[in-house]
Structure 1
Amino acid sequence: MCLALPAEIIEIDGDMGKVNLGGVRKEVSLSLVEDAVVGDFVLIHVGYALNKISPEEAERTLQLFAEAGLGGAA
C-alpha cells in the first residue's frame, strides 16, 4: 500500500517546487501536475506531486492522519 501526503506548494522553479508538509519544506517534482501554482495543495509521494486537491480535502486528510496518530493537524 502506498501513502500520499497533502502539502501546499510554496515555491515553483520550472518542473520543481518546494512544498510545506506540516512545517517541513521539501523539494518535489511538479512534472505530473498541470497548471500548478504557489498556494495549490498537492498529494506528494516519493518526491513527486501526483495531483492537485482542494484545501478542504487537504485539511480533512491531515485531520484523519492526526486521528490515526500519524501526525498532521490536530
Structure 2
Amino acid sequence: MCVGLPMTVISSDGATALCERRAEQRRVSTALVGEVAVGDQVLVFIDSAVRRLDPEEARQIDDALDGLVAAMEGRPFEHLFADLIDREPELPDHLRTERH
C-alpha cells in the first residue's frame, strides 16, 4: 500500500525539490505539480509530488496518519479525527452521483 505524505519544500531546482517531514528529507520530482517555492506543502507519493496542499489539509493528513498509528498501538486517537466527529462521512465531489 502506498501512503501519501505531506511534506514541506525546503529548496527547489525547478525539476525537483528537497522536501522535509518530521526531520526526514527527501528529494522529490515536481514534474506533476510544476514550480514550487520554499515553504510550499506538497503531497508526496513514491518520491513524486502529486499535488499542492494548503496548510490545513496537510495538518489533517498528518493527524489521520498519527491517528492510525495511535489506534494500532491501542492509544487514544479520536482527537486526531476532530474534523470527522459529529458529522456523516461525505464522498469527494468527483465520486458523488446525482440522485433523481
TM-score range (shorter-chain normalised) is 0.7 to 0.9
Count of matched residue pairs: 71
| CA deviation profile, 1:4-31 (whole Å, cap 9, x unmatched) | 1110111001201100122101000111
- TM value normalised by structure 1: 0.85
Bigger fraction of residues in strand: 1
Cα distance in structure 1, aligned partners of 2:65 and 2:58? 11
Structure 1 vs Structure 2 CA RMSD: 1.7
Match of 2:33 in 1: 33
Over alpha carbons, which structure has the higher Rg?
2
More helix by percentage: 2
Residue 61 (structure 1) aligns with: 61
TM-score, L = length of structure 2: 0.65
Whether the 8 Å contact between 2:4 and 2:43 is mirrored in structure 1 is yes
Q: How far apart are the structure 1 equivalents of 2:16 and 2:35?
A: 13
Provide runs of 4+ in structure 1 moved above 3 Å: none
Which residue number corresponds to residue 10 of structure 1? 10
Can you give the 5+ residue segments of structure 1 that lack an aligned partner in the other structure? Answer: none
Q: Deviations over 1:22-50 (max 9, x none)?
A: 21010001111134211111000111000
Give the partner amino acid of 1:2. C
Structure of higher RCO (CA pairs closer than 8 Å, 6+ residues apart): 1
Letter aligned with residue 14 of structure 2:
G
